[in-house]
Amino acid sequence: MIDTTGPTLELTDEHIMLRDAVREFARREIVPIAAEFDETGEFPLDTIRKMGAMGLMGIEMPEDYGGAGMDTIAYVLAVTEIAKADASHSTVMSVNNSLVNYALLRFGTEEQKQRFLVPVASGEKIGAYSLTEPMSGSDAATMRSRAVLNDAGTHYIINGRKSWVTSGPVADIVLLFTMTEPEKGHHGITAFLVEADQPGFIRGKKEPKLGIRASATSELVFEDYACPVEHVLGEPGMGFKIAMTVLDAGRIGIAAQAVGIAEAAYEASVTYAREREAFGQPIGAFQMTQAKIADMKTRLEAARLLTLNAALAKMRSKQTGARYTTEASMAKLFASETAMFIAHQAVQIHGGMGYSKEMPVERYFRDAKITEIYEGTSEIQRLVIARNELGLR
């Protein structure tokens, strides 16, 4: 687990200052609007811009590239606080940081970093990550979208339909994965940096989601979209490697999001158990309620520590080059299932009020579910963990 020879789990003064500043921002700016934006499904652009001004859209990115220049623990703390206020805001934040920014920093050329990373990390532009297709989810090798190099060798012509693209309706820059050599399976996938203001880029139908409704998810359609060869990320055929490497980082973000949702549901339950009375005493005085609170608290803290452990593993990887796939998958698996467990118990503790939109716990319940699905389902996480432990690839 925690390697004491590398970065440690002790929070620095800088970490604490960031956490407290984000917590105050979330309480002031996000909590009052969260229910309304969940109801309407409108994208919260104003608060996302404010988050960008605070440096929250590029926390781990170097300051030279528009970021805040902080570490992964800082990122986890910030995502948790934003998610505790509203999961939708944290979803946009996580995609921007973990998937788009990290991919550009890790695999981008200097020209690509200046053109794409700087505006995304600074919050000037919004990034999106597009791997999934209507008939291709966990099995990326079956994707049907295609990119074909033109006769002049200057552009790839992209055609196809992508689905479940977070921030798709509003994104300025999309990290797109599509087939360039279908006969090679997942070795024939290439990553492209796509600009949304170009001909052939079409925003498709917006998804009517159960939860994280304000995070704006849609299909993207490409019709003869001409992407310059200079906008290939990495090398042709490297797309699957890039996608999987980036998802390791992304899963830490989703784990942090799940911890935030779980923490919000837990705190609401403790408050309600103290205040709600039945049979002449607070419901928290009953042992069945106490058992729920004990299980919720224990799982919450375990999820938090697994997530911070994954953050430490990612930080160590910068020094050692070691992968942190197992740590990220364990954190994502346990934290997401913990969020769902705690949100479910929160609804139960609140009784009828837990089923009402007058209380936020029903939103926590709806939001928690997606953390078990996106960026690798719980089933995929278990496969990843087991295969790594057994030495299977």
Q: Which residues are catalytic?
A: 375
β-bridge mates for residue 282, sequence order: 277
Tokens of 209: 């989601």
Residue 1's nearest CA partner among 335, 378, 307, 332 is 307
Rounded CA-CA distance 185/211 in Å is 33
Rounded CA-CA distance 73/312 in Å is 7
Residue 287: which residues within 8 A CB-CB, separation 6 or more? none
Q: Which DSSP state fits 134?
A: T
Three-state SS at 221: strand
The sign of the torsion formed by the CA atoms of 105, 110, 114, 115 equals negative
Rounded CA-CA distance 81/87 in Å is 10
Rounded CA-CA distance 216/237 in Å is 30
